[in-house]
């Protein structure tokens, strides 16, 4: 059994914060979830609205919305027989997405060309 030291006790809050941030970025790391979040920046939407706007299957939209609700990024409220989804923290979400756009602007194509995390499903990238 490993002994817990004062040094490892001090690192625990930092590791917990890194775990939480990693989970948050994983939540935004899916193209469909990111598209949903971007659409919700414009206001509330029902699943049927998001399905129509994004061209995704209803099951796909519902699955990703459930994930975003579980992560407290999105909230849901009933409206008649439908459910209406909105961002739980729109100002903070917008700030995060703007920061990401700023970072992408200065890194150029490096992210999409990255052999580990880059996009290989984009036909424009395959042509390079």
Give per-residue pLDDT as tens, 79-108.
Answer: 999 999 999 999 999 999 999 999 989 988
The whole-angstrom distance between residue 108's C-alpha and the CA centroid of its chain comes to: 21
pLDDT at residue 122, as a whole number: 46
For residue 48, the enclosing domain spans 28-108
Q: Provide the CATH number for the domain around residue 76.
A: 1.10.10.10
Judge whether 86 and 43 are in contact, CB under 8 Å: yes
pLDDT at residue 7, as a whole number: 53
pLDDT at residue 114, as a whole number: 84
Q: Is 23 inside a domain boundary?
A: no
Q: Is 65 inside a domain boundary?
A: yes
Q: How many domains does the chain have?
A: 1
This prediction has a pTM of 0.78
Q: Is 82 inside a domain boundary?
A: yes
* pLDDT tens per residue, range 1-51: 455 555 566 688 899 999 999 989 988 889 999 999 999 999 999 999 999
Alpha-carbon distance values, 121 to 17, 31, 54, 113, 127 (Å): 31, 11, 18, 12, 11
pLDDT at residue 33, as a whole number: 96
Q: How far apart are CA 61 and CA 33, in angstroms?
A: 8
């Amino acid at each position: 059994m490993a002994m817990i030291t004062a040094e490892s006790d001090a690192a625990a809050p930092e590791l917990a914060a890194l775990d939480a941030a990693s989970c948050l970025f994983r939540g935004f790391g899916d193209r469909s979830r990111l598209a949903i979040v971007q659409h919700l920046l414009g206001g509330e939407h029902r699943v049927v609205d998001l399905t129509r706007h994004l061209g995704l299957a209803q099951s796909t939209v519902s699955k990703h919305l459930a994930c975003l609700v579980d992560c407290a990024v999105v909230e849901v409220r009933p409206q008649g027989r439908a459910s209406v989804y909105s961002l739980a923290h729109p100002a903070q979400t917008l700030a995060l997405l703007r920061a990401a756009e700023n970072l992408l602007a200065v890194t150029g194509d490096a992210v999409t060309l990255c052999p580990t995390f880059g996009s290989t499903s984009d036909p424009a990238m395959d042509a390079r």
